């Protein structure tokens, strides 16, 4: 009997230790907002976003072809800067909606937008989250990688839903 209780305890621990808890959500929101809500945030956002995309294109050079309409070949173009801001604003929205009922609707909306774009795969989201993880690790002093990973796991699954691998 004791071994059954112990086994159930391990299962409960394993389940709880890989989900985005309320505490994880609060850490992610606080860390993101410390980066996102700075006095020079528009300049910082564009610089940070361009760096994230540059690293993403290093990991997956072929993915550049998915961004032709936003002039990816000219990262200093207003079209590309606008795209960077739209992506980061979408990320800001879903991060700050964590724990809110509206988050599922926003994730479904973003998923639908990406399903409609030919060539986007679930792997692209996985790669982007890895790049974002590495980039955040460099700019946030007290980066809590476990909280971010737990929360990104659920967000990523919702965004990848229905996309080819």
Q: What is the distance between the alpha carbons of residues 54 and 124, in angstroms, rounded to a whole number?
A: 14
124 is in an annotated binding site: no
Count of alpha carbons within 13 angstroms of residue 72, beta-carbon side: 16
Query: Can you read off the two tokens belonging to residue 123?
Result: 């792997």
For the record, the structure tokens of 121 come out as 């795969």
Work out the angle at residue 113's Cα, subtended by the Cα atoms of residues 111 and 116, and round it to the nearest 5 degrees: 105
Other CB atoms within 10 A of residue 86 CB: 12
Q: Which residues are annotated as a binding site?
A: 114
Q: Which residues are annotated as a binding site for heme b?
A: 114
């Amino acid at each position: 009997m004791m071994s059954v209780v112990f086994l159930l305890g391990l299962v409960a621990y394993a389940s709880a230790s890989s989900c985005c808890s309320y505490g994880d959500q609060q850490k992610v929101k606080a860390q993101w907002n410390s980066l996102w809500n700075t006095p020079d945030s528009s300049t910082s956002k564009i610089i940070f976003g361009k760096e994230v995309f540059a690293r993403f294109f290093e990991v997956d050079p072929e993915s550049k072809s998915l961004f032709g309409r936003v002039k990816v070949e000219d990262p200093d173009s207003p079209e590309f800067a606008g795209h960077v801001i739209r992506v980061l604003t979408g990320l800001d929205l879903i991060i700050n909606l964590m724990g809110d009922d509206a988050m599922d609707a926003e994730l479904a909306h973003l998923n639908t937008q990406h399903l409609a774009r030919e060539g986007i795969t679930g792997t692209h989201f996985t790669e982007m989250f890895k790049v974002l993880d590495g980039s955040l690790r460099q700019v946030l002093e007290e980066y809590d990688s476990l909280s971010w990973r737990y929360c990104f796991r659920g967000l990523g699954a919702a965004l990848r839903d229905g996309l080819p691998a």
